[in-house]
Amino acid sequence: MARNYNCDLALMIAPLRDKSSKRKMHGLPTSTPALMPAPTKGWYVGANIADAPAGTAYILDNAFPQLDYIRMRRGSASWATGMTNATVSTIMTYNGPTSSKMFAVVSGSIYDVSSSGIVGAAAVTGLNSAANLEYVQFQGLSGSYLIAMNGQDGAQVFDGTAWNLTYSPTANTSNVTATPTGNTTSTSTTISSLSSATGLVAGMLVSGTGIQAGTTIVSVNAGALTMVISLAATATNTATPLTCSNATIVTNISSMTGIYAGQSFTGPGIPSGTTVISVNALASSIIISQAATATASGVTLMFYKTPPISGLTGNPLVYPWIFKSRLYAVERDSLNVWYLGVSSIGGAATQFSLSSIFKYGGYIVAGASWAISSNSGLYEVFVAITSEGEVAIYDGGYPGDPAWTIKGLYKISKPLGRRCILKAGGDLAIMTEDGIVPMSSVMTLDQIALQNKAVTAPIAPAWRTAVLARQGISGWQIITWPLESMAIVCLPKAAAGDNTQFIANARTGAWARYLGWDANCFGVYNNQLFYGTSDGRVMQAETGGQDDGANYTWTVFPSYSHLGSKAARKLVKMVRPRIQSSFPITPQVTIKTDYDTTAPANPGANPITATGAVWDTARWNVDVWPADLSDQSAWRASEGLGMVIAPVVQLTLSTTQTPDIRLTATEILYEGANSLG
């Protein structure tokens, strides 16, 4: 039978009042009530523990500070499996006009993980497994594209349907040949009576007996089986075939969808710069502009809707971003940036070198566009950040614009990886060794003074400890989950089993810490939060009441309070956490005193039992559905003696139900104690 705690409280308070009056008559201690609001200002270790602001917490684990309460975080559950058993290094999302996709990068392969369950074959394979893909979604001339780069392989392009428009030929390639059946004269530029004109197109090189070096086809008349060549032939006869050796026919292509003349493509045995000359959809074949070398059946050819990025040696581009309708990308291990034409995702790239600007060396880590407010309104600037913590800001259309000028060069602490930038409202947040600093403050303060303006100032010692423990380890990421107003800092793993993330309320700046998620990267897809594990899976976060089947513990350790009296010692007798929950719970309450920073041991798992009607078994018009939230507040005996008090609330969960557990405040009953105890 459920207890009526309100009735219990009424029965308790009446004797307390009666005893209080009697105790006062006899000069005995009386019980004094105190109220501590939930620490919605978040995790705070940025000052002396004795001077922490009210409404903060010394420890706030697996909790999220909302505006008006602290909620226990939810668990995580497996979303996508069947990939290589290796670290998921990147989660990429594509949001098109009519559809959306989510992709996971594992060991050099890209998998479609848009749907829950076992994934199919990788959409892209063969990428450098040691290089992380960085990506951006870009609106090009003919559609919206997801563009990913790793500084080792060519740019990977997803157009909403397929990656790189990949098709596989199932037969070997062969040179296109044509055999005349009639003589030609030395002054004629027409080859007549061709046995076949299939595959012959203008621009192809022609060779054979009597054909001068450098001769090309000017035009072809397939109906008349004739062609016009650029130089006069000498004594070409009907017995000698002519070979068009700079073009190749690729036959038996598995799919012709999306292939068209003028398209660039690559593949084994295909020379750089090869394009499609003509397409024969009925014959499932194409003519290409250069002779293929040993292209075999079953290999993969990659066709691009626009030409691949050219003008560079190799594939050094990494970290793409957009500035004023142009695609920019960092050149790996350099102080160079490359950019394309307006709304282009391929073609000739132009170099923009910043080596003469940055005086501390290093390499460019990341870039961004940033809208600055001025007296004349908003204007967009170009931002580049180096590994040594230099930030350059430029104004203008693009680096080749006569109006392109540098607006400022600033110094910050070293950034933490390439995923160090977060657009937050009208500002840029940059994740550095000294904390997360706003770009608006970078422009007005020096590196030392910036630490006081860091968004992470409330957790500065914890931030410094995390940075020192992860020197030289990649995997830092900062991302927001707008639906929950949540900012997430994914920390690299300092050791095996290190499953730590720093979490902030993006509206209030209140911090917390999540423990238990084996997360290497995060992504937001269809308004839900996901992360990639160390064993090749994608997990949905903030769902259920288990972490991949394991228990997890909520710990709210508020900053110490004098409870309104700095002079007197207090003997705490009872505590009542004001908790609302979606199911019955029994939290553990521990009184900590006099700045003891030792966290209590985690309690055992709270047994969860269903309450009210259960779907598919309830009786219509008889059973009652459980309330969304019910009051779980109850007075609990919990003693402690000290000048300052901190009631620690903990709860361990292990349930398939998704919890909604909220701490609003904690009530305390204590007695005054004399100086001798």
Position 11 scores a pLDDT of: 45
Report pLDDT digits (tens) over 630-660. 999 999 999 999 999 999 999 999 999 999 9
CB 76 within 8 A of CB 517: yes
Surface-to-core class of residue 134, CB atoms within 10 Å of its CB (0-12 exposed, 13-18 middle, 19+ buried): buried
**Tokens 């809707």 sit on residue:** 305
At 297, is the pLDDT very low, low, confident or very high (cuts 50, 70, 90)?
low
In this model, does residue 627 exceed pLDDT 70?
A: no
The pLDDT of 139-147, averaged and rounded, is 86
Surface-to-core class of residue 338, CB atoms within 10 Å of its CB (0-12 exposed, 13-18 middle, 19+ buried): buried
Lowest mean pLDDT among 273-282, 356-365, 628-637: 273-282
Of 546, 550, 547, 519, nearest in space to 533 by CA: 519
What is each CA distance from 176 to 167, 585, 630, in whole angstroms?
21, 78, 79
**Tokens 């990494």 sit on residue:** 318
**Tokens 């990341």 sit on residue:** 366
Report pLDDT digits (tens) over 451-470. 889 999 999 999 999 999 99
Position 202 scores a pLDDT of: 75
232 alpha carbon, distance to own chain's centre: 62
CB 206 within 8 A of CB 143: no
SS3 sequence of 231-298: CCCCCCCCCCCEEEEEEEEECCECCCCCCCCCCEEECCCCCCCCEEEEEECCCCEEEECCCCCCCCCC
CA distance 482 to 76: 18
The DSSP 8-state label assigned to residue 440 in this structure reads H
Lowest mean pLDDT among 106-120, 297-311, 522-536, 579-593: 297-311
The pLDDT of 469-478, averaged and rounded, is 96
Residues in the chain: 677
156 vs 186, residue with greater confidence: 156
∠ CA 485-110-347, rounded to 5°: 95
Count of Cβ atoms closer than 10 Å to residue 187 Cβ:
8
CA distance 149 to 151: 6
The pLDDT of 167-194, averaged and rounded, is 55
Q: Mention every residue, 6+ apart, whose C-beta is less than 8 A from residue 337.
A: 328, 329, 330, 331, 351, 352, 353, 354, 364, 367, 384, 399
In this model, does residue 418 exceed pLDDT 90?
A: yes
Report pLDDT digits (tens) over 26-43. 555 578 999 999 999 999
Taking phi first (over 0 means left), then psi (-120 to 50 degrees means alpha), and beta for anything else, what does residue 41 get? alpha
**E strand or H helix that includes residue 453:** helix 447-453
Position 174 scores a pLDDT of: 47
Report pLDDT digits (tens) over 386-412. 999 999 999 999 999 999 999 999 999
The pLDDT of 618-623, averaged and rounded, is 60
In this model, does residue 511 exceed pLDDT 60?
A: yes
CA distance 217 to 201: 7
Beta-ladder partners of 561: 645
CA distance 518 to 496: 10
Count of Cβ atoms closer than 10 Å to residue 507 Cβ:
11
CA distance 631 to 579: 6
DSSP H helices, 358-408, are none
